[in-house]
Amino acid sequence: MKDQKNLKKDFPIFSSKAAKKDGKELVYLDSASTTQKPQIVIDSISEYYKTSNANIHRGIYTLSEKATAQYEEARQKTQNFLNAHSANEIIFTRNTTEAINLLAYTFGEKYINEGDEVIVSELEHHSNLIPWQEVVKRKKAILKVIPIKFDYTLDMDAYHALLSPKTKLVAITAMSNVLGTKTPLKEIIESAHKKNAVVLVDGAQSATHQKTDVKALDCDFFTMSSHKMLGPTGVGVLYGKEEILKELPPFMFGGDMIKSVSQYNSVYADIPAKFEAGTPNVAGVIGFGIALDYLQKVGFKTIEQNDKALFSYAVKKLSAHKEVTLLTPPADKNGPVISFTVKGIHPHDIADILSQDNVCIRAGHHCAQPLMEKLGIPATARISFHIYNTPEDIDKMDKTLQKAIKIFE
C-alpha cells in the first residue's frame, strides 16, 4: 500500500497553485466538514458530462442507457459497501440531512403518534436533532436525550433507563463530529429492538473511516454523505430495511417515482424509485461510486491505522501546551476528530491565525449547540483527518498554534 505522502498525490488540490497562500502549502485539517477529492473522482464526473450525459431511467437510446447503467452501478457499489441485503434498500438523496428529513416526514408521520417517544443523544449534529424535534412537536410525542459522561462517552445506564414500551425510534450518531466519540451501536440497537423500537444510525462521520456492515449492526436505517467520503457534494445515502421502506409513503412527488398517473390519481413506483423523484445528481452519484472504489482500494485497515497514528501524534503535540484543553474521549472510543480550547483565545481567533499560514481548521459550535451548552463553552477549535494527512501537517498546525498563543500572551 502507498504511504500517506504518496496517497496525498492522488488529491490535486494539494499541488494546486491556487491552494497555496503566500507560497505556503495547504494544510487541510477539516475533513469532518468535507473531504478533498482524488483525481479519479474528479475525472469520473468530467467523463460523464463528456461521454454519457443524458437523463436516466427514461430514454431508450444508447446514451441514456449508458448513464442509467452507471447510476445503477453506483447503487450496487453502495449496497456492497454497506453489505445491505438488496440494492433496493439504497436511496440516493442530496446529503445526510435530506436522508434524515426523508425519514422524519415518512416514518415520523406514519408511525409516531401522541405520547410516543423518540430518543436522541447529546452528541447529535443538528441534522439528527431538529427533524425529530419537529416531529414530536407535530405529533405531540416526547423527545428523550441520552446524556454524555465526564469522559465524553454516552451514559449507557441512562440510555437503558430511557427506553420504554413507548419508544418508537432511537436516532443516534455513530461518531460525534465534535468530540470524535464512537457510540456502542450494537448495544444501542439490540436494546432498542427488545422494546420493538426502530433505530436510525447517522453515519456521516463514521462511514468514511471504518467498515460499515448494516447486516451485522442490524440497524433499521443508516445515512451517510458522499462529500465526507472523498466523493462529490450533493449526494447522500439512506439505507433502510426493505420491509420498512416498502410501507413508507413517498417523500416527494413528481417524475420517475410513479408507475402510472391519471388525471385524479397516481400509483407510486416500487422502492427505491418511490423515494427518488425528479432528475437526480447523476454525475455526483457516478462520482460517489468511484469514491467508494477508491476508499475500498486504500482499505479501512490502512485508513484506521493512519487515523490512530495522527490522532495520537496530534494529542501529544497539543497536550504539550499548558494553555490547551482537549475534549476527547478515551483512546479506544475516538475517531479522527479533536476538539480543543486555548485559554484566553476564542476559537475563531485560533482558526483565523492558522488560516494566515494556510492551515485550515474548523472553529465554532459545529452544528451541535446543545452539546456546546452541555460542555459549558460557546465553541471549540477542531482538527480532523483523512488519508491525505501526514505528521508534517500536524507539525505545521502546531507551529502556528504556538504563534497564536504567543500573540495573545
Size of the chain in residues: 409
203 is written with which cell numbers?
Answer: 453515519
In whole angstroms, what is the distance from residue 378 CA to residue 380 CA?
7
* Count of Cβ atoms closer than 10 Å to residue 109 Cβ: 15
Under a CB-based contact definition with an 8 Å cutoff, are residues 333 and 309 in contact? no
| φ and ψ at residue 175, rounded to 5 degrees | -155, 130
CA–CA distance, 39 with 11 (Å, rounded to integer): 6
Q: How far apart are CA 133 and CA 123, in angstroms?
A: 15
- List CB contacts of 277: < 8 A, sequence separation 6 or more: 250, 251, 252, 253, 254, 255, 256, 257
User: How far is the C-alpha of 174 from the C-alpha of 167, rounded, in Å?
Assistant: 20
In the chain, the amino acid numbered 177 is N
CA distances from 67 to 54, 56, 57, 257, 275 (A): 6, 6, 9, 18, 19
- Which amino acid, residue 349? D
Cβ(171)–Cβ(200) below 8 Å: yes
Supply the Cα-derived Rg of the chain in whole angstroms. 22
Determine whether 367 is an active site residue. yes
Report how far residue 245's alpha carbon sits from residue 392's, in angstroms, rounded to the nearest whole number.
46
Q: What span, in angstroms and rounded, lies between the C-alpha atoms of 183 and 278?
A: 36
Which residue from 3, 5, 8 is spatially nearest to 35, judged by alpha carbons? 8
Give rounded-to-5 percent helix, strand, coil for the chain.
Answer: 45, 20, 35
Cell readout for 340 is 480543543
Options 258, 367, 372, 377, the catalytic residue: 367
**CA-CA-CA-CA torsion sign (255, 260, 266, 270):** negative
Q: Do 342 and 409 form a contact (C-beta atoms < 8 A)? A: no
Residue 11 near residue 371 (C-beta atoms within 8 A): no
Which of the residues are catalytic?
367
